[in-house]
Chain A
Amino acid sequence: EAGVTQFPSHSVIEKGQTVTLRCDPISGHDNLYWYRRVMGKEIKFLLHFVKESKQDESGMPNNRFLAERTGGTYSTLKVQPAELEDSGVYFCASSLRGANTEAFFGQGTRLTVV
């Protein structure tokens, strides 16, 4: 069974450009999460989908970030326009029944804004 897949693995963009990160969760997992790790700091929660609905988006930094989950399957996280402080590793995770069960993580997308 395929795990959580994230694309791209790396992205380098210029300040002001737009980047879209994609996450394919494990098939059948209704819960999908986005997290971010800025260099040297802790991994921080961004948002949580249950199927196609946003359950909790309290961690989204600002309105330059837009997350979608089409049809309750894959999810995208768009940053527009990107700023230098958006650099970091973006992780996606999925779980069957919520975060108090095992969350399976993707390998992350390393975003560098220059």
Chain B
Amino acid sequence: DQQVKQNSPSLSVQEGRISILNCDYTNSMFDYFLWYKKYPAEGPTFLISISSIKDKNEDGRFTVFLNKSAKHLSLHIVPSQPGDSAVYFCAASDTGTASKLTFGTGTRLQVTL
């Protein structure tokens, strides 16, 4: 039962262009969403989050959009840089579960020169 889905295992984008990573969820109780970035042999690093009361949150080059009716969120990276190459995980939580995060399977982003 995959409650958080990232249907694109990989994505390749040219440096300077926009990267769009997508995530879908099925559990309507989820009300807080996060994106984590992971480099090989390291733990996931927090990138950006959004509460279900918002539909957009920005932090520098990173913007997360939330469409609650479609149970869909996306991460936009503009402009993409080679250092952004990593695996990106979407995660979700239900406020009542003390931030127990449910993760997607990840999307590997490759930013090419």
> Are A and B a genuine interacting pair, yes or no?
no
Residues of B within 8 A of A (CB): none
